[in-house]
Every structure is written in C-alpha cells, then in structure tokens.
Structure 1
Amino acid sequence: MPYRHPYPPSDLLEVLHRHQTASHLLAVFTRTTPGLDDLWRELFATLADTPILTTEITALRAARDAVRAQHANLIAAARATLAAHHDGEHDPLFYLRDELTAQLAAGRRAGEAR
C-alpha cells in the first residue's frame, strides 16, 4: 500500500497567484499611503521570498520523487532476487546487481550534468 501524506501538497501555482495578487494590492497601498514606506518595504521584502521558496519546493519534490522511484526499483529488484533464489535460478543476485549498476550509472550521469 503506498504511503499517503496526511496533508495534501500545496498547489504552488495557486500560491504564486496569491503572491501576485498580494503584490498588486501592496503596490496600490504604497501609492495611496506613502507615510508607511518602511512598512511597505518590509512587506515587499517578505513577499519576495514566495517565488524563491516555491522554486525550492518544486526542486525538492522532484528530488523526493526520484529517490522514491529508486527505492521502489530496489525493492522490486530485491523481490525478484528472492523469487529467483526460491526458483533455483543460476544467478539470483543478477537483479540486484543490475538495478544497483543502473542507479550508480544514473547518479554519475546526473553528477556530470551539473
């Protein structure tokens, strides 16, 4: 049974949309009440973090998904190895060696691409 996180993932496009709306409203407030310039600057600085954080969240989700796929592939290879051993295959560890080799090669390619 797959693991289900108790909280649904946030809709990052909606977050960015709310950020844009808040930025526009803040720009209007800045023009209509210039006496609060320090406050407006602080709020603009705070809002500036949102796109940066959504980009980071997107990258972290992609990394998490890649690790989950690697984990699932290793589990499948381990199960295939156990089944091959049970069936008396000549080289039951082939499945694990093959998956580990594939993951190491993918890791090297990813390191070279950086």
Structure 2
Amino acid sequence: MTHRHPYPHTDLQEVAHRNITAAQLLAALTRDPLPLLPVWAHVIAALDDIDTVIDEITGLRAELALIRHQRANLLAAVRATLAAHHDGDDDPLYYVRDELHAQMSGEGR
C-alpha cells in the first residue's frame, strides 16, 4: 500500500535556486547609490535567512521520516500482539516489548 503525504513537500533546491537568483539581482541593484539602499539591505538580509530555514526544514523532514517509521513499526508490533493473543500465544506482548526496547535502545529500525 502506497502512503501519500498529506502535504506535498516543497522543492527546497528550487527554493534555494530562486533565492540565489533573487539575491544576485538585489546585489546588482545595490551597486548604485540609491535612496532605497537601507531597504535593499533589509531585503537582502531577509533572503540570507532562507538558507538557514532550508537546512532546518531538511532536518525536520528527516526527523519526521524517522518518527513515521517508528510509528509504523509500533503499529505492526501491536497488530502482531493482537494476532498472537487471538492465537492463544503464551506471551503475546513480546512483540510490543521487543519493538519498544528496539526504539528505546536507539536502533530506530
């Protein structure tokens, strides 16, 4: 079963490329002494923040992927536990304990 993300990811490389282009255009505009030079400096400073935001989003996406993977593993363990209980297994909670131990020990599977 294919899992679709509820919110499509923005193409961060494209955002970075547009940011670089915009910064280059603004840098070219600030070469001439304009009365709006302080405004341009503010805009350029704001554009410089985009790289930091892109790095943060990239890290958050990786963290979210790991959390989704851990959640899927826990759900599978719960399903296995329920099936084992239904089948009369002596220790149906083994699957949940095993998965919790794996996640707590940092395996992160």
Structure 2-normalised TM-score? 0.89
- Distance across 2 between alignment mates of 1:38 and 1:53: 23
How many correspondences in the alignment?
107
State how 1:8-87 maps to structure 2 within 5 Å: 8-87=8-87
Instruction: Report Cα offsets for 1:50-84 as digits up to 9, x if no partner.
Output: 00100111111111111111110000000000111
Residues 32-41 or 89-98, more deviating: 32-41
- Unaligned ranges ≥5, structure 1: 110-114
**Which one-letter code corresponds to 1:22 in the other structure?**
A
Deviates more, 1:27-36 or 1:84-93: 27-36
Distance of 2:102 and 2:26 partners within structure 1: 51
What percent identity do the matched residue pairs reach? 50
Is 1:4 the equivalent of 2:2?
no
Name the CA distance, whole Å, in 2 between partners of 1:88 and 1:3. 36
**Counterpart position of 1:105:** 105
- Answer 1 or 2: higher relative contact order, Cα 8 Å, separation at least 6: 2
Unmatched 5+ stretches in structure 2: none
More displaced stretch, 29-38 vs 98-107: 29-38
Which residue is 1:112 aligned to? none
Aligned equivalents of 1:88, 1:81: Cα separation in 2: 10
Q: Structure 1-normalised TM-score?
A: 0.85
**Which whole-Å CA distance do the structure 2 matches of 1:91 and 1:75 have between them?**
18
1:37 to partner: Cα distance: 1.6
